[in-house]
């Protein structure tokens, strides 16, 4: 299946991507891909080592005539987001990604593709392996766990790298040059509750929200996509208000950095209210699907009878939970007043689990302004604490402040204009890039981010554009030829 991928141009790039995608590489389970990268570097007889947290560094000397150029750090992350469609059978821990060509795009069969950030990793691998591409001295930095905590970037010690310039290959629009990004923090609310025996004359139902686009909780947060956890809350809130609906279980969302695509709840209502409940829910489902029909054409909400659950949530806790989830901010909180069209601060209510007497709500709050990030994080904390939850902040990482006087920015901007006949879009993004973290231990390093067109990252609709990869590859080669002298 991946044979057709290997025939795409540039073959050196797509072949390395196919090699990489054959290796399972979930976040926090990168042992196999770390070993893969170390073996790759060692087979090339290049200096290769793993640091204390699992990042892999491979160093390659400059090609002839390029010894007087500044040393370049080429950086991408090894891990990938694991998401699959509900009807796709796939084990990310043991299987390689199954890819196929769809016109001008490379996709995966029912799963995330791993182009984020696998195409960046493959780019660096191809350059390390090449014997014909001119380049300055290169330090290839392959970080781990970017998607679920950036612990690789956080754990990278100062002094391991000597490079003057860092090229981060993790931007997903080929006409964009990234000069800044948002920081983030995980907000987690938890509490326990008493389970009660379900009274007599109750009927069980399963409510399912599915078919949403999902997507990247940073790059796509402003697009108005549906959040399955918020839509489920609307249904549960209305069912409780009008029919005394009781909750037994909720399982919604997945990873913090993915907009929730699906949510399931097991509930019970009084048997005598079944007909009215069915009518009310049908009207609500129609209202919601009508609201979202343009942006979420595949949204499906199903309510089916199931065995009546034996236990349900304490009534007071349930009431507080549904109100807190309804009130909690989700989506864009503030647009940047300084950079046009840039989301400054947002939150993704990513995961909601209610089961066996435990509640856990996971959010990812992002902002390019530290004070605004903490303002929203504290708002969420206050919201969930009002319903008796304990709230923990973790995984805090800084943003990357734009430097419009960057020397490497000038190089990339000039080359882009010369190669494409128009200027690149120089911008900060609302995603979390590793540059801000890496800059803490390497404050003098001049950093920039760019990459090929990748759509639908963090969702099974992820796809990489073939023509864009060709454009990007030529750009990379020109950048390496034009690195300034020391």
Q: Where in the chain is the domain with CATH 3.40.630.10?
A: 3-182+400-481
- pLDDT recorded at residue 203: 96
The answer to whether the bond into 29 is cis (omega within 30° of 0) is no
What is the value of pTM for the model shown? Answer: 0.81
In CATH, what is the architecture of 3-182+400-481? 3-Layer(aba) Sandwich (3.40)
Residue 365: which H helix or E strand, with range?
strand 358-367
Query: Which residue among 79, 116, 296, 446 is the active-site one?
Result: 79
Given a cut of 90, is residue 338 above it in pLDDT?
no
What is the mean predicted confidence (pLDDT) over 393-403? 91
Contact 376, 333 (CB under 8 A): yes
pLDDT at residue 87, rounded to an integer:
87
Q: Where are the beta strands (DSSP E) in 53-212?
A: 56-60, 72-77, 99-102, 105-108, 138-143, 165-168, 176-181, 183-192, 195-197, 202-210
Quick one: tokens of 389?
A: 């939850």
Instruction: Give the CA-trace dihedral at 369, 384, 213, 424, to 10 degrees.
Output: 0
Percent of the chain, pLDDT > 70?
Answer: 100
CB 116 within 8 A of CB 458: yes
The pLDDT value given to residue 449: 97
Closest CA to 264 of 351, 330, 200, 190: 351
When pLDDT is cut at 50, 70 and 90, the band that residue 232 belongs to is: very high
pLDDT above 60: residue 197 = yes
pLDDT in tens, 277-324: 999 999 999 999 999 999 999 999 999 999 999 999 999 999 999 999
Tens digit of pLDDT for each residue in 128-186? 999 999 999 999 999 999 998 899 999 999 999 999 999 999 999 999 999 999 999 99
Could you write out the DSSP letters of every residue in 305-363? EEPPPSEEE-HHHHHHHHHHHHHS--EEEEE-SSSTT-EEEEEEEEEEEEETTEEEEEE
- Residue 79 annotated in active site: yes
Q: Could you say which of 3.10.100.10, 3.30.70.360, 3.40.50.720, 3.40.920.10 is the CATH number of the domain covering 185-397?
A: 3.30.70.360
pLDDT at 1: 52
Residue of 139, 146, 344, 461 marked catalytic: 146
What is the location of CATH 3.30.70.360 in the chain? 185-397
- Is 2's pLDDT higher than 80? no
Beta-bridge partners for 247:
267
Averaged pLDDT for residues 100-122: 97
- CB within 8 Å of 314: residues ≥ 6 apart: 193, 194, 195, 196
What mean pLDDT do residues 335-339 have? Answer: 88
Q: What is the mean pLDDT of residues 468-480?
A: 98
User: Residue 72 and residue 78: Cα distance in Å, rounded?
Assistant: 19
374-389 CB burial, b ≥16 within 10 A, e <16: bebbebbbebbeebbb
466-481 helix and 407-420 helix, angle to the nearest 10 degrees = 130
């Amino acid at each position: 299946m991946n044979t057709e991928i290997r025939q795409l141009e540039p073959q050196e790039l797509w072949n390395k991507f196919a090699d990489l995608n054959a290796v399972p590489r979930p976040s926090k389970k990168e042992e196999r891909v770390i070993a893969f990268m170390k073996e790759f570097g060692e087979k090339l007889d290049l200096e290769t080592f793993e640091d204390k947290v699992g990042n892999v560094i491979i160093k390659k000397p400059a090609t002839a005539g390029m010894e007087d150029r500044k040393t370049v750090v080429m950086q991408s992350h090894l891990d990938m987001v694991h998401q699959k469609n509900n009807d796709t059978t796939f084990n990310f821990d043991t299987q390689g990604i199954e890819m196929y060509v769809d016109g001008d795009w490379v996709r995966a069969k029912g799963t995330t593709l791993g182009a984020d950030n696998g195409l960046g990793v493959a780019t660096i691998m191809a350059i390390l392996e090449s014997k014909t591409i001119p380049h300055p001295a290169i330090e290839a930095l392959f970080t781990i766990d970017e998607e679920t905590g950036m612990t690789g970037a956080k754990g990278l010690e100062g002094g391991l790298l000597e490079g003057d310039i860092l090229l981060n290959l993790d931007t997903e629009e080929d006409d964009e040059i990234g000069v800044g990004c948002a920081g983030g923090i995980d907000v987690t609310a938890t509490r326990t509750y008493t389970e009660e025996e379900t009274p007599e004359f109750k009927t069980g139902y399963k409510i399912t929200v599915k078919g949403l686009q999902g997507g990247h909780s940073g790059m796509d947060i402003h697009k108005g996509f549906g959040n399955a956890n918020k839509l489920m809350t609307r249904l549960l809130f209305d069912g409780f208000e009008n029919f005394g609906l009781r909750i037994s279980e909720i399982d919604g969302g997945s990873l913090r950095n993915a907009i929730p695509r699906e949510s399931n709840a097991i509930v019970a209502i009084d048997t005598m209210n079944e007909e009215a409940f069915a009518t009310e829910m049908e009207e609500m489902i129609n209202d919601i699907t009508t609201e979202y029909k343009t942006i979420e054409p595949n949204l499906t909400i199903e309510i089916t009878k199931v065995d009546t659950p034996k236990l349900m949530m304490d009534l007071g806790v349930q009431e507080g939970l549904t109100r807190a989830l309804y009130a909690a901010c989700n989506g864009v909180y503030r647009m940047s007043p300084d950079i046009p069209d840039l989301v400054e601060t947002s939150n993704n209510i990513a995961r909601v689990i209610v089961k066996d007497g435990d509640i856990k709500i996971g959010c990812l709050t992002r902002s390019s302004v530290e004070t605004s990030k903490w303002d929203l994080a504290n708002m969420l904390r206050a919201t969930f604490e009002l319903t008796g939850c304990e709230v923990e902040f973790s995984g805090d990482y800084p943003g990357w402040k734009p430097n419009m006087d960057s020397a490497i920015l000038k190089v990339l901007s000039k080359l882009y204009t010369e190669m494409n006949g128009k200027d690149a879009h120089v911008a900060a993004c609302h995603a979390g890039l590793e540059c801000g973290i890496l800059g803490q231990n390497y404050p003098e390093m001049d950093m920039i981010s760019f990459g090929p067109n990748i759509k639908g990252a963090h969702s099974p609709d992820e796809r990489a554009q073939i023509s864009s990869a060709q454009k990007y590859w030529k750009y990379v080669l020109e950048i390496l030829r034009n690195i300034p002298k020391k």
